[in-house]
Amino acid sequence: MTIRDTPGATSGAATTTLDTLMPGPLSLAGHRLGTPQRAGALTMVPISGPAYPGIVPPRRGLKLARVDGYGRVELHNGAADGVAIVPLHIGYIQDAAQNHALCRSAFIAAGQSLMFEDAACVQASQGGYLTERDQWFFVLPVELRARALQRRGVHDFSKLWDDIAALNRGYGLPARGHLEQILSRKRPVLTQFQSRLELQPGQLGALFFVDGRLAGLELAPDPGYFADVWTALVCFAYGVAAWHAEQRHAEAGPPSEARPFPATCLPELRAALDRDRAARIAQVAGWLADVPTGPVELTEEERYLGLRLSTVTGAHLAGQVVTDGDRAVYASLFAPWPGDTAQ
């Protein structure tokens, strides 16, 4: 999978391979990167490619069935057919309830339910259990994802409270184990990333960069699945770190003013846009070239028919992937982030 010249871009734009980002022999053959989009500190590079059939999209097929005590969350696949791949680090928010997030992905067959007994409460000292009504889901911010992955299988509902408190303190918020201080109270700010970045037709994945640093690689089985997790990823998984970066920029001084393209007619404007697009592609290629590489460990967690769910651990990348043979069907991989407490 490569960054290629886009239509209209200047000849010779940088071409950068992403093969080194995927662990071991996993193949992304046929996948392509689109034109980078930028919203402040957050850059998103769309991924398109062949869809993998038979996977239930999470918003339409995967439902929170119940919370049976703190740290015990049951999800249900209500689809008549197809297996659900639970998005890695998905969480649920509801007013006046103890909000939870999951530390791992999983398979759930059609019509079946699965109790996650190693879920993490993400709102300390809040009573009440989540129910099916009036809820929305998120994906844990990248700053918390390494710790959550490390603590999969640990039955301790308060296991992320100290990490959440440290994250809040670093963001100038009260040092409490309440993730809703960011996700709910800053939601109007975070959702701006969704409106400023455009989901592309046929898009089934993305690379996310914050301030020029690779934050994550997300790949879904098909465009419908990716559309379902789009808001949770762009606003919460990676938007939180981008919002924090923009706060630091504001403290450093006012941003430089945008300058209009030096064009006096439509052909000149088109040429200027092509040059700008090519420059952005070359910039992202440079960011990719700077991504550290090294060995990763792939640990199989479970199987469903020909699908395998594995955990990826390495110094430069971690997360979970679902594969069929050597084909990557689903991936949620993130880079270690400055200040995360798992380092």
Q: Does residue 9 carry a pLDDT above 50? A: no
Q: Does residue 243 carry a pLDDT above 70? A: yes
The kind and range of the H/E element at 58 are: helix 58-61
Question: Minimal CA–CA distance to 17: which of 204, 284, 250, 265?
Answer: 284
In the block, residue with structure tokens 């923009």: 246
Q: Does residue 259 carry a pLDDT above 80? A: no
Mean pLDDT of the chain: 85
Entry pTM? 0.88
Under the banding of pLDDT at 50, 70 and 90, the label for residue 42 is very high
% of the chain exceeding 70 in pLDDT: 84
% of the chain exceeding 90 in pLDDT: 54
pLDDT for 12? 33
Report the pLDDT averaged over residues 320-342: 87
What confidence tens digit (pLDDT) does each residue in 281-324 have?
888 888 888 888 888 899 999 999 999 999 999 988 999 999 99
Q: Does residue 22 carry a pLDDT above 80? A: no
Structure-token pair, residue 15 = 């071409």
Under the banding of pLDDT at 50, 70 and 90, the label for residue 222 is very high
Dist CA 343 CA 328 (whole Å): 27
pLDDT for 257? 62
Q: Does residue 130 carry a pLDDT above 50? A: no
Q: Does residue 131 carry a pLDDT above 80? A: no
Under the banding of pLDDT at 50, 70 and 90, the label for residue 220 is very high
pLDDT for 4? 41
Under the banding of pLDDT at 50, 70 and 90, the label for residue 206 is very high
pLDDT for 90? 96
Report the pLDDT averaged over residues 21-31: 75
For 215, half-sphere exposure in the C-beta direction (CA atoms, 13 angstrom radius) is 29
DSSP string over 225-280: HHHHHHHIIIIIITHHHHHHHHHHHHHH-PPPPP-----SSHHHHHHHHHHHHHHH
Is residue 52 a contact partner of residue 222, using CB atoms and an 8 Å limit?
Answer: yes
Under the banding of pLDDT at 50, 70 and 90, the label for residue 271 is confident
Q: Which of 33-42, 108-117, 132-141 has the highest mean pLDDT?
A: 108-117
Does residue 166 or residue 20 have the better pLDDT? 166
Under the banding of pLDDT at 50, 70 and 90, the label for residue 123 is confident
